[in-house]
Every structure is written in C-alpha cells, then in structure tokens.
Chains A and B, each alone.
Chain A
Amino acid sequence: MEAVHASLHSGTAPQSPLSAAPLEVLGVSKSYVGSQAVVPVIGDISLTLNRGEIVSVVGPSGCGKTTLLNVLCGLIPPDTGTVRWHGAAISGQPANVGYMLQKDLLFQWRTALSNVMLGLEIRRVSAVQAEDRARAMLDQLGLHGFADAYPSTLSGGMRQRVALARTLVNDPEVLLLDEPFAALDFQTKLVIESDTVNLVRDSGRSALLITHDIEEAVSVSDRVIVLSKRPTRVKKTYAIDLGVERADMIAARESPRFVDYVRQIWADLDVARQ
C-alpha cells in the first residue's frame, strides 16, 4: 500500500522526491549559428549541484560560462542534453531559482524597496505582505534606512546588496550567480561575498557561482569546476577543503591550502599558452 502510494505520488507530481539534487546538468551542448559557420560554444558539460552546496565554475575567458548560465535559467534551449531541476526536466524558467549578474540590473525608477518587491509583485503576492518581506530582507542585508532611496543615490556595493535582496526575497532554493561581485572594490567584495555565503548556507540553499576570479571561487566554494576552452567541457573538479570556517573569507584566503588550490586551478586554465 505504502509503495503504491509512493509510486503514484512520484508519477503525478511534477517534481521528484527531495533526495534528487537541486540541479543536474547532463551532457549539455550548445552551438551558435553564425553567418558563415556553426560555432560550438559548449561541447559537453555535465555537473551536479547538491543541496546546501556552493559550487563555482571557472574557465578561460570566452569559454561560454554565460551561455551555460542562460541554458540553466531556461533562457536558451540546449542543443543536446538535459537540465534537471530536482530531478525533473522542465521547459522554460525553473521555479525557485534566483539569478544574479555582475550588473545589478536595478530599475532606476523604483526605490530600493520596490526593486526588492519586483519578484513578489510578479507573483501577485499582496502588496502589504510583499512590502513587509522586502523590508525585512533589506534590514537583514544592512540596508535599513535605504528602503526609499533610488538606485542612483546608492554606492555600487549597496546596489549589489539591493540586487541580492531582490533575489533572496523570493526565497529561491538555488542561486545562479554570474560574476555578481566582479565590479566591486576588494573590501566591499569580501564583505558581500561572506554575506551571500552566510545567507546561502544558513538556509540550506545551494548556489552555482560562475566567475573568472579563481581566488573568489576557492574561498567561497565547496567544489570548483574548471572548464576547458571552447568547445567547453569539464576539465577538472576540485573538492575544496580549506580546514577553516567557510563563511570567513579572510580566514579562507589565509589558509595555507588556499594558495595551492589557486595555483593548481591557474595551471589548469592554461592561460599562458592561449
């Protein structure tokens, strides 16, 4: 009886049991059709993001990291392979996924608060509830008192915090981050990196971070996936164990193993020979 019930459940529900990894990429490839020829961008990528994990993807410049992210978000379809969210292949945009880029993409005509409310408005959450949740999120990210400020009056770091709040207020299970810290100055970057890592880890979320910054990848991630040049494949995967508290960016960077990882990954990227 129990077994029948379970199989019935998994047969009808769009999502598989909770045991499935939040994100699985299986044999994805993608080419662009140019005017002269077909340009292969992604050769063959498979990767898994487990629950509660932060995984970074690094690769040589122009290796199609952003294309990969757009495939994961369902913004462009892959040529081959599948993207499974919680074990289910879906078409279009996955639910419960937050997306953050280097550009904060804040709407200049909206205040910080109403920028954060954007996703809730789209899902037609009641205005009162949306505002409460957005305010709480801003407070949590240290933006208390800036709710009514327009983006043009905020610093780069604060704007990226608002963008982070806009992402997290929707309570995503998975964050897809495309170099979200790249435009920030070093100190601001470390602070926002640790805030992000804390917010991900505390709530059992997962994050896939696409970056060209090897030090950032090693300091925040559980695993680092190194991609090859185009057509992109997974070249190597590192499980990062720095032996320190993972939310402490300074301690992570001071760990003796940190330098070794960075050096190895740097060698894998093969920058000198390009």
Chain B
Amino acid sequence: MMHETPQKMTGEDRLAAELRKTRARTLRMAAAVTAAQLLLLVAGLALWQWATSASSQAAFMFGSPSAIGGHLAQMFRDGSVWRDSYVTGIETVLGFVVGNVIGTALGLALWYSRFISRVMQPFIIAIGSIPIIALAPIVIIWFGTGLASKIAMSTLSVVVVALVTSYKGATGVDDDQINLMRTLGASKFQIFRKLVVPASLTDIFAGLKLTVGFALIGAIVGEFMSSSEGLGHAIFKAGSLYIIPKVFAELVATIALALILTFIVGRVERLLTPWRRAG
C-alpha cells in the first residue's frame, strides 16, 4: 500500500490542476456571457436613444431611454414606484399562493383515483383553455373592484397550470417505486405522502416558476379593469394619457417585480429540494 502513495499523489495533483483549468474556463465563459449581455443592452438603448432623438414625433410615439429614466427617477422621488409595486406584489403573491395551493392539492389528489382523473380530464382542458381576460368582467361583478378581484384574477391565471403540472408529476412516479412501497407494506396514503408528493416536487416547482409570471399577468389585467393603485393601474393611466415613456418606466418596475418574485421562488426551491444540489 505504502509504495502506491507517491504515484497517487501525482495523480491527484494532475487531477487538481485539471480541475483548476476547467474552473477557470467556466469562469471565463461566464464573464464573456455577462459582458456580451451588457454590451447588447447598452447597444440597444443607444440605438433607441439615437433613433428617437431625430424627431419629436418618434420620441412621442416610442419614448426614449433618457425620458424613461427621467420618469423612473420621478417615480422613486415621489415614492409611487414602491406603493404601486407593493400593491401589485401583494395581489400577485396572494393569487400565486392561493392558485398554487388549490391547483397543486387538486392535481395531487387526482392521483388517488384514476377514474376521477379521467372523468375530469376534458373539463380541465376546457377550463384551462379559457383566456383569463375573458373572465374579468364576471370576476369584477363577483368580487368587486377592490383587492379581492385582483387576487381572484391572479388565482385563476395560476390554478389550472398548477393542477396540470402537479398531476403530471404525481402520475410520473416510477411504478416500480410504487411496487416497492407496496411490498414494504405501505398503505395508499403512505405511498402518497412518502413517495408521490416528494417525487412530484420537481414538477411542482417547475410549475411554480412558470406561474409567477401568470399570477402577475392576472393581477395586472385585474388592475386594468378597475383599480385606483398598482403597476397595472399606473400603466393604464399613463397609456390613456399618451405618456409613453411613463408606460415603459412602469414596465421596467413590473419586470423588476417579476424578477424578484422568480428569484424568491428559486430560493425556496433550493431550500426545499436540497438533494438536487448534491452530486
């Protein structure tokens, strides 16, 4: 055993050097990608600025990065960006949570009965194909013009997607693993809780990431219909007044909100699925 040690050491050293080289290459690649992205952004903004500076008509129709920046600065100064983002954020988060809880619970529950899931299939497809915006007038009649109708719109945008992704996760469980549970004497509920639910988490989180955007769309469409505050309200108002750079400035805030919410979902996913970071 002893005489093998020096040879093994050199082997390990070579491996470490190789690993360092690979890491350096990965880092260089990441840096190059980031640089290219920044360059593309700056070039795009510069082109936009140049094209709209030529005529005041173009600047009116398409806004300009400098005007958008001015509106953003104004939104920060008067604090409206925080207020509107907060309102829309609350609507989105509540709709996201309610929609995903209901959708995921129903999707997983459908695993329990193949019969019921087959009965429900055409109805789910039918409901899933309704454009949510078409429901907005009814939602306002049912839930009023306040927070509840925005949450309802947001929930409706989320619930079917959550149902379908979680059901797909639940039915995708390996039959051999189900058989293993059965040979270990597991009850149907134990199979559900110890196998089906955790095995579906990957699909459920894929659905969660997808539905962040849908929840935001629902909330903003709800604000378009009737509202007194929120990003959707601000966009609608600026648009009605033909203040196009302001519309873009509110859009920037909306994008930022979407990115923050997606980031939070990603963090929660990392926290709840530690095994996916291993290996």
The distance in angstroms between the C-alpha atoms of A16 and B177, with both chains bound, is 31
Q: Mark A95-124, 1 if CB is under 8 A from B, else 0.
A: 101110101010111100000001101110
Q: Mark A118-132, 1 if CB is under 8 A from B, else 0.
A: 110111000000000
Q: Mark A64-94, 1 if CB is under 8 A from B, else 0.
A: 0000001001010000000000000000010
Whether the pair B181, A122 counts as a contact (CB closer than 8 A) is: yes
Q: Told that A101-B180, A118-B184 touch, could you supply 18 new A-B pairs with CB distance under 8 A?
A: A73-B179, A73-B182, A75-B179, A75-B183, A93-B183, A99-B179, A99-B183, A103-B176, A105-B180, A107-B198, A107-B199, A109-B201, A109-B273, A119-B184, A119-B185, A149-B278, A150-B278, A153-B279
The answer to the question of B66 belonging to the interface, with a C-beta cut-off of 8 Å to chain A, is no
Which B residues lie at the A interface, using CB under 8 A?
174, 176-177, 179-186, 190, 194-195, 198-199, 201, 273-275, 278-279
Name the A residues within 8 Å of B199 (CB-CB): 107, 109
How many residues from A make CB contacts under 8 Å with B?
Answer: 26
Closest 5 interchain pairs by CB? A152-B279, A150-B278, A153-B279, A99-B183, A119-B184
Name the residue in A99, A109, A118, A170 with the highest tally of chain B Cβ atoms < 10 Å from its Cβ: A109
Whether the pair A150, B275 counts as a contact (CB closer than 8 A) is: yes
Whether the pair B186, A122 counts as a contact (CB closer than 8 A) is: yes
The distance in angstroms between the C-alpha atoms of A117 and B43, with both chains bound, is 58
Whether the pair A122, B185 counts as a contact (CB closer than 8 A) is: yes
Name the B residues within 8 Å of A73 (CB-CB): 179, 182-183
Whether the pair A105, B177 counts as a contact (CB closer than 8 A) is: yes
| A95 CB → nearest B CB, Å | 7
| A38 CB → nearest B CB, Å | 23
- Once A150-B275, A153-B278 are accepted as A-B contacts, the answer to whether A122 and B184 lie under 8 Å apart by CB is yes
Which A residues lie at the B interface, using CB under 8 A?
70, 73, 75, 93, 95, 97-99, 101, 103, 105, 107-110, 118-119, 121-123, 149-153, 170
| B44 CB → nearest A CB, Å | 40
Name the B residues within 8 Å of A109 (CB-CB): 198-199, 201, 273, 275
Name the A residues within 8 Å of B275 (CB-CB): 108-110, 150-152
Name the B residues within 8 Å of A149 (CB-CB): 278
Name the A residues within 8 Å of B185 (CB-CB): 93, 95, 119, 122-123
Name the B residues within 8 Å of A150 (CB-CB): 274-275, 278-279
| A32 CB → nearest B CB, Å | 16
The distance in angstroms between the C-alpha atoms of A123 and B190, with both chains bound, is 10
The distance in angstroms between the C-alpha atoms of A122 and B190, with both chains bound, is 7
Nearest A residue to B181 via CB reads A122
The distance in angstroms between the C-alpha atoms of A255 and B176, with both chains bound, is 37
| B101 CB → nearest A CB, Å | 21
Name the B residues within 8 Å of A103 (CB-CB): 174, 176
Name the B residues within 8 Å of A105 (CB-CB): 174, 176-177, 180
- Once A105-B177, A105-B180 are accepted as A-B contacts, the answer to whether A122 and B278 lie under 8 Å apart by CB is no
Whether the pair A121, B182 counts as a contact (CB closer than 8 A) is: no
Whether the pair B176, A101 counts as a contact (CB closer than 8 A) is: yes
The distance in angstroms between the C-alpha atoms of A93 and B35, with both chains bound, is 61
Q: Can you list 18 A-B contacts (CB < 8 A)? A: A70-B179, A75-B183, A93-B183, A99-B180, A101-B176, A105-B174, A105-B180, A109-B198, A109-B199, A109-B273, A110-B198, A118-B184, A118-B194, A122-B194, A123-B185, A150-B274, A150-B279, A152-B275
The distance in angstroms between the C-alpha atoms of A98 and B195, with both chains bound, is 18
Whether the pair A107, B183 counts as a contact (CB closer than 8 A) is: no
Name the A residues within 8 Å of B201 (CB-CB): 109
Whether the pair B273, A75 counts as a contact (CB closer than 8 A) is: no
Interface residue from B174, B176, B182, B190 paired with A93 (Cβ < 8 Å)? B182
Name the B residues within 8 Å of A170 (CB-CB): 184
Nearest B residue to A176 via CB reads B183
Name the B residues within 8 Å of A151 (CB-CB): 275
The distance in angstroms between the C-alpha atoms of A132 and B273, with both chains bound, is 25
The distance in angstroms between the C-alpha atoms of A152 and B177, with both chains bound, is 16
- Once A119-B184, A122-B194 are accepted as A-B contacts, the answer to whether A107 and B278 lie under 8 Å apart by CB is no
The distance in angstroms between the C-alpha atoms of A93 and B181, with both chains bound, is 11
Name the B residues within 8 Å of A123 (CB-CB): 184-185
Nearest B residue to A103 via CB reads B176
| A46 CB → nearest B CB, Å | 23
| B245 CB → nearest A CB, Å | 49
| B203 CB → nearest A CB, Å | 13
Nearest A residue to B179 via CB reads A75
Name the residue in A73, A110, A118, A121 with the highest tally of chain B Cβ atoms < 10 Å from its Cβ: A118
| B155 CB → nearest A CB, Å | 28
Nearest A residue to B275 via CB reads A150
The distance in angstroms between the C-alpha atoms of A63 and B279, with both chains bound, is 38
Name the B residues within 8 Å of A153 (CB-CB): 278-279
Nearest A residue to B272 via CB reads A109
The distance in angstroms between the C-alpha atoms of A94 and B268, with both chains bound, is 41
The distance in angstroms between the C-alpha atoms of A97 and B185, with both chains bound, is 10
Nearest B residue to A76 via CB reads B179
| A136 CB → nearest B CB, Å | 19
The distance in angstroms between the C-alpha atoms of A75 and B177, with both chains bound, is 12
